[in-house]
């Protein structure tokens, strides 16, 4: 079923031990949309400035992504981020952030975007997430991403946004920070216990995804726990956008199975596809690898991941 994603569209300047790129295509909504487009129709909502090129829009259009709700702000500059990674690619140093048109962003959804059955609220101000969520009250599945900044300065608004969605995606440190729980599973269960106030939209989250970088990701529901390692790669070039690519794979896969209940089986398959798509993302800078990616490559890596993560159920006879 069609997916609407609301979030940043950006230019990124990135340096890693393996090279550098100047003003490459980036942004949470872009990485999400390119990944999700392998599974279903995607509609992108976000602002760009006069400096945003047609070639960058074409990257998304070639994948069938609907870019008609991207707002070009006259006289504005596109969101810009510059960062550098050391040998530990799990951490990065932000060198420059220029919000540009993103600073005054007020999402404007087209009729097509409003008609989507699935919604992903990328990392934006929590009050904006709540406003967009309210505009799609009948969405079948809604997921949300956020970051430590909003936990620090807008926690109450973020919690109100979280209880209006079905799925929350944060990294493990953010989950601990949000809940004050030192244990990952305990933190996830705390979020799952949150419910909206009477009369407020939503039923409270039923799925929490904890992103763990090179160590993979964990999925927690009220009844189960599931974890996958990251797909093993001999070389990781640029992790920028990996989390949003992961989210695109997860939400995209769920959107492509509208007749299925949100079961553990469906969620585990979605996690596998998310893991594989994120692995392709980090092999090159920005969106370069995902732009060339084809379906059979994803299928082959899914089979490899399955083979790596299964084992016999036979038990060793233990002494004592």
CA distance 254 to 238: 27
CA distance 70 to 62: 15
Q: How many CB atoms lie within 10 A of CB 266?
A: 14
Report yes or no on 266 lying in a domain.
Answer: yes
What are 188-206's pLDDT values in tens digits? 999 999 998 887 777 899 9
Report yes or no on 37 lying in a domain.
Answer: yes
Q: Cα-Cα-Cα-Cα dihedral of 232, 235, 238, 239, to 10°?
A: 20
Residue 261 exposed, middle or buried by CB count within 10 Å (0-12, 13-18, 19+)? exposed
CATH number reported for the structural domain that contains residue 82 in this entry: 3.40.1190.20
Please give the helix or strand (H or E) that residue 119 lies within, else none.
Answer: strand 118-121
- Treating both helix axes as pointing N-terminal to C-terminal, what angle do 28-36 and 264-281 enclose, rounded to 10 degrees? 120
Report yes or no on 315 lying in a domain.
Answer: no
Report yes or no on 314 lying in a domain.
Answer: no
Domain span at residue 52 reads: 3-309
- What mean pLDDT comes out for the span 117-146? 96
What is the residue whose two structure tokens read 């936990």?
151
Domain count, the chain: 1
Report yes or no on 222 lying in a domain.
Answer: yes
Mean pLDDT of the chain: 95
What are 14-25's pLDDT values in tens digits? 999 999 999 999
**DSSP letter at 101?**
G
- What mean pLDDT comes out for the span 143-149? 96
- What mean pLDDT comes out for the span 301-312? 93
**162 vs 155, 234, 302, CA distance in Å?**
10, 36, 30
> What confidence score (pLDDT) does residue 314 get?
67
> What confidence score (pLDDT) does residue 315 get?
67
Report yes or no on 207 lying in a domain.
Answer: yes
pLDDT of 72 higher than 90: yes
Share of the chain above pLDDT 90, in %: 91
What is the residue whose two structure tokens read 């059979």?
296
Report yes or no on 319 lying in a domain.
Answer: no
User: Six-digit token pair at 271?
Assistant: 């996690």
What are 39-60's pLDDT values in tens digits? 999 999 999 999 999 999 999 9
Report yes or no on 52 lying in a domain.
Answer: yes
What are 244-278's pLDDT values in tens digits? 999 999 999 999 999 899 999 999 999 999 999 99
């Amino acid at each position: 079923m069609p997916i609407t994603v609301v979030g940043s569209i950006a230019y990124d300047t990135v340096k890693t031990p393996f090279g550098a790129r100047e003003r490459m295509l980036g942004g949470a909504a872009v990485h999400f949309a390119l990944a999700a487009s392998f599974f279903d129709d995607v509609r992108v909502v976000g602002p760009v400035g006069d400096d945003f090129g047609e070639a960058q829009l074409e990257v998304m259009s070639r994948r069938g992504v609907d870019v008609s709700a991207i707002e070009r702000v006259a006289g504005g500059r596109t969101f810009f981020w510059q960062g550098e990674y050391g040998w530990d690619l799990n951490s990065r140093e932000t060198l420059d952030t220029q919000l540009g048109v993103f600073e005054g962003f007020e999402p404007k959804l087209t009729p097509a975007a409003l008609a989507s059955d699935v919604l992903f609220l990328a990392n934006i101000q929590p009050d904006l997430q709540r406003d967009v969520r309210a505009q799609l009250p009948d969405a079948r599945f809604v997921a949300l991403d956020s970051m430590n900044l909003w936990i620090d300065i807008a926690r109450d608004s973020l919690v109100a946004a979280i209880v209006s969605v079905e799925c929350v995606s944060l990294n493990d440190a953010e989950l601990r920070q949000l809940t004050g729980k030192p244990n990952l599973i305990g933190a996830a269960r705390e979020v799952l216990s949150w419910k909206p106030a009477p009369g407020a939209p939503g039923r409270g989250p039923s799925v929490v995804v904890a992103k763990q970088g090179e160590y993979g990701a964990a999925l927690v529901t009220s009844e189960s726990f599931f974890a996958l390692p990251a797909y093993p790669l001999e070389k990781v070039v640029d992790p920028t956008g990996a989390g949003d690519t992961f989210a695109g794979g997860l939400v995209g896969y769920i959107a492509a199975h509208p007749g299925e209940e949100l079961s553990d089986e469906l969620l585990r398959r979605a996690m596998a596809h998310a893991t594989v798509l994120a692995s392709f993302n980090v092999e090159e800078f920005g969106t370069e690898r995902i732009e060339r990616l084809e379906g059979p490559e994803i299928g082959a890596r899914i089979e490899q991941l399955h083979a790596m993560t299964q084992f016999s159920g036979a038990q060793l006879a233990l002494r004592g």
